[in-house]
Amino acid sequence: MPYYYRLPQPSYRAFYVLKRNFLVWRKLLGPALVLHFGEPIIYLFGLGLGLGHFVGDMGEVSYLAFLAAGVVASSALMTASMEGTYSVFTRMVPQQTYNAMLTTPINTDDIITGEFMWCATKATMSSIAILTVAFLMGAVESMMALIAIPIAFLCGLCFAGPAIIMASCSPSYDFFNYYFTLFVTPMFVLCGVFYPISVLPELMQSFVQVLPLTHAIALIRPLVLGQEVTQVVLHLGVILAYTLVGYYIAIAVVRKRLFI
Amino acid sequence: MSDYVIEAVNLSKHFGEVAVVKGIDFKMPRGVCFGILGPNGAGKTTTIRMIMGLSPLGAGSLKVLGHTMPDEGELVRAKLGVVSQADALDPDFTVLENLLVYASYFDIAKDVARPRAESLLAMMELTERVHHKPATLSGGMLRRLSIARALMNDPELIILDEPTTGLDPQVRHLIWNLMRGFLKEGKSILLTTHYMEEAERLCDDLLIMDSGDIIEQGSPASIISQRVEPEVLEIKLDETTCRTLLKDVEDLRFEAVGDHTYCYTRDAQSVVTCLQGLSNVSYLHRPANLEDVFLAMTGRELKD
């Protein structure tokens, strides 16, 4: 079997890549925190309170709480997608960060594994920020919401895959428009962040079942709202499947791009 | 420990249908400065990438520091210091942080890395810039920082890919002196360069590549003596005029270069005597150098 398609073989050096990204992030803490806290505050105030005024309650919970739970999941999607496309491309092409790393014992598998962990770490930080804001607004109904934090990490891994694949196949930043318009935005709008998917036409409901964000929301929302989580194995299974397939393909395409 | 840091046997590489490296054989001895020269597209970069373990071999075998490439690339890169053409420094980190983060990739502990970084920065005369970002540094400073970074792991083999391109003479001389120092410490240097003067000054041994083949191999002095006549006169006249003027001198070889004619000879004195009798003829008399060999072997037409 050609080297490119062999199973990923990352080493502990993946953590060096993670640490490097963390050190850069820490330097830009101001803008990072504005992004992490600013966006959810706008969503929760603007849509949660504004739109929520007309929507009223969603069964037993307020629209604000319903939305907050969805935004925890969608922010994992957004954060990991931005990091996996724009930031990974920046390090791969214009900044040549990976080429510098590759003159050391670090290899491509370490780099991509480190980037997956970093995407997931940022998704987690973002989910913590949103839960904090939601909690302060009284929109967190249960301490079970803390379990949403590791699930956000898993979602970050899941959404990192397709984003990194996109970054390593794109000739320039412009090509990310395909990814965001055809994959990220449809998930953001259709997978139940703003409304329960049960209100969609049946065909549409079947379609969104294929998308990982639907399952992320199905896990996270009941945890935040203090409701019972159902079909845990199915939801985790879909997210895990996306994660593993995405990871395998991402490693293969980055090897093809960097090890030539 | 092998006497050779690099041993390539029938090393080949093709991209699609195009053969970029065509079954080359060479050995680089330990403790020397070894040059790989060649015009653009000769296969130098691909060869270097294979040596670093960043490119699968097409065919043949390659050992670097006793390890088989590319399978043992990580072991080899732990002992390599690489200065690439693109400095690829981290723009968000300061000068010092760039070195410390890079050292971490080699498992070098922070309490070892910090004093080493500081002493390397002092050697590179960058101490005053320790807390500056790379964007504020000049081209020469960036290259010195790249060299300092490549030395963080105390490498056995240093790979310098066109290290002095675009630098001013002061920095070039500094880098040349550093390279001589590395050799004295027992390190080995693999150098690619487009400057034949640089190769002639520094390389103990070199090979010239063209279109994926090695077309010449040896020390600069032996290559020059085998390939071209020892002396050159660059005469500011066209070739026909030169041939007429110098028709009585034997064993001359002429080459037209723009509005000059290069006259290669073993008997420069006779040519000079002839030319001195003429007014309005300007010429330059110099020993033959590696550039003469390089251009004679790879041609004068542009390569890209």
What's the pLDDT tens digit per position in B50-85? Answer: 999 999 999 999 999 999 999 999 999 999 999 998
Instruction: Give how many domains chain A has, as a whole number.
Output: 1
Structure tokens at A70: 């969805």
Structure tokens at B12: 């080949």
CA distance B153 to chain A (A): 9
pLDDT band at B207 (very low <50, low <70, confident <90, very high): very high
Share of chain B above pLDDT 90, in %: 75
Substitution target in A3, A5, A26, A102 with the highest count of B β-carbons within 10 Å is A102
Domain span at residue B260 reads 229-287
- Round the average pLDDT of chain B to a whole number and report it: 93
Q: What Rg do the C-alpha atoms of chain B give, in angstroms?
A: 23
Angle between helices A108-136 and A148-169 (to 10 degrees): 140
**A3 to chain B: nearest residue by CA?**
B56
pTM for the whole thing? 0.93
Q: Among B194, B218, B159, B164, which residue's Cα sits nearest to residue B38?
A: B194
Residue B25 in this model has a pLDDT that exceeds 80: yes
Asked if the structure places residue B262 within a domain, the reply is: yes
Query: Which of B78, B91, B97 is opposite residue A95, by nearest beta carbon?
Result: B91
Contact A100 B89 (CB under 8 A): yes
Tell which A residues from 74 to 113 touch B, by Cβ distance under 8 Å: 95-97, 99-107
Asked if the structure places residue B68 within a domain, the reply is: no
Residue A98 in this model has a pLDDT that exceeds 70: yes
Q: Which residue has the tokens 């001013």?
A: B168
Q: Among B64, B148, B91, B82, which residue's Cα sits nearest to residue A106?
A: B82
Look at residue B71 in the predicted model and tell me its pLDDT.
Answer: 92
Look at residue B13 in the predicted model and tell me its pLDDT.
Answer: 96
Substitution target in A103, A110, A257, A258 with the highest count of B β-carbons within 10 Å is A103
- How many Å apart are CA A241 and CA B233, to the nearest integer? 73
Q: pLDDT tens-digit profile of A226-259?
A: 999 999 999 999 999 999 999 999 999 999 999 9
Residue A35 in this model has a pLDDT that exceeds 90: no
Query: Which of B75, B84, B97 is opposite residue A103, by nearest beta carbon?
Result: B84
Q: pLDDT tens-digit profile of B154-163?
A: 999 999 999 9
Look at residue B2 in the predicted model and tell me its pLDDT.
Answer: 75
Look at residue A85 in the predicted model and tell me its pLDDT.
Answer: 97
pLDDT band at B1 (very low <50, low <70, confident <90, very high): low
Which ipTM did the prediction report?
A: 0.92
Give yes or no for a cis peptide into A162 (omega within 30° of 0). no
Instruction: Give how many domains chain B has, as a whole number.
Output: 1
Task: State mean pLDDT over B25-48.
Answer: 94
Q: Among B151, B52, B152, which residue's Cα sits nearest to residue B104?
A: B152
Look at residue A60 in the predicted model and tell me its pLDDT.
Answer: 85
Asked if the structure places residue A174 within a domain, the reply is: yes
Asked if the structure places residue A4 within a domain, the reply is: no
Domain span at residue A99 reads 29-258
Contact B97 A23 (CB under 8 A): yes
A235 burial type by CB count under 10 A (0-12 exposed, 13-18 middle, 19+ buried): buried
Look at residue A220 in the predicted model and tell me its pLDDT.
Answer: 97
Q: What Rg do the C-alpha atoms of chain A give, in angstroms?
A: 19
- How many Å apart are CA B116 and CA A55, to the nearest integer? 64
Look at residue B248 in the predicted model and tell me its pLDDT.
Answer: 85
Look at residue B59 in the predicted model and tell me its pLDDT.
Answer: 95
CA distance B57 to chain A (A): 9
Asked if the structure places residue B300 within a domain, the reply is: no
| A233 and B CB contact within 8 Å | no
Q: Where are the beta strands (DSSP E) in chain B?
A: 4-15, 18-29, 33-37, 59-64, 67-68, 80-83, 157-161, 188-192, 205-210, 213-218, 231-235, 253-257, 260-265, 283-287
Query: Which of B74, B86, B88 is opposite residue A107, by nearest beta carbon?
Result: B74
Residues of B near A (Cβ–Cβ under 8 Å) read 15, 49, 52, 54-56, 73-75, 77-78, 80, 82, 84, 86, 88-93, 97, 101-102, 104-107, 150, 153
CA distance B240 to chain A (A): 50
CA distance B285 to chain A (A): 44
Task: State mean pLDDT over B105-131.
Answer: 96
Look at residue B78 in the predicted model and tell me its pLDDT.
Answer: 97
In this predicted model, which residue has the larger pLDDT, B280 or A218? A218
Residue B299 in this model has a pLDDT that exceeds 90: no
Asked if the structure places residue B56 within a domain, the reply is: no
Number of cross-chain residue pairs from A and B with Cβ atoms under 8 Å apart: 67
In this predicted model, which residue has the larger pLDDT, B26 or B299? B26
Q: What is the three-class DSSP state of A116? A: helix
Q: What is the number of other CB atoms lying within 10 angstroms of the CB of residue A39? A: 18
CB A228 within 8 A of CB A222: yes
**B93 to chain A: nearest residue by CA?**
A24
In this predicted model, which residue has the larger pLDDT, A29 or A249? A249
Query: Which of A16, A96, A103 is opposite residue B104, by nearest beta carbon?
Result: A16
CA distance A202 to chain B (A): 49
Task: State mean pLDDT over A159-168.
Answer: 97
Asked if the structure places residue B251 within a domain, the reply is: yes
- How many Å apart are CA A117 and CA A80, to the nearest integer? 10
Query: Which of A13, A95, A103 is opposite residue B52, by nearest beta carbon?
Result: A103
Contact A24 B90 (CB under 8 A): yes
Task: State mean pLDDT over B174-195.
Answer: 94
Query: Which of A28, A105, A260 is opposite residue B55, by nearest beta carbon?
Result: A260
**B45 to chain A: nearest residue by CA?**
A260
Contact B101 A20 (CB under 8 A): yes
Q: Which residue has the tokens 């033959």?
A: B288
**A260 to chain B: nearest residue by CA?**
B55
* CB contacts, 8 Å: A28 with chain B: 92
- How many Å apart are CA B57 and CA B69, to the nearest integer? 8
Look at residue B247 in the predicted model and tell me its pLDDT.
Answer: 86
Q: CA B299, B60, B52 angle in degrees (round to 5)?
A: 80
CA distance B268 to chain A (A): 49
Task: State mean pLDDT over A195-224.
Answer: 96
CA distance B129 to chain A (A): 18
- In 3-state terms chain B splits into helix, strand, coil percentages (rounded to 5) of 35, 30, 35
pLDDT band at A135 (very low <50, low <70, confident <90, very high): very high
- Round the average pLDDT of chain A to a whole number and report it: 94
Q: pLDDT tens-digit profile of B244-255?
A: 888 888 888 998
Look at residue A7 in the predicted model and tell me its pLDDT.
Answer: 95
CATH number at B236 reads 3.30.70.330
Look at residue B304 in the predicted model and tell me its pLDDT.
Answer: 66
Asked if the structure places residue A16 within a domain, the reply is: no
C-alpha dihedral sign at A146, A149, A155, A157? negative
Q: Which helix (H) or strand (E) holds A61?
A: strand A61-62
Q: Among B179, B155, B143, B145, which residue's Cα sits nearest to residue B106?
A: B155
Asked if the structure places residue A66 within a domain, the reply is: yes
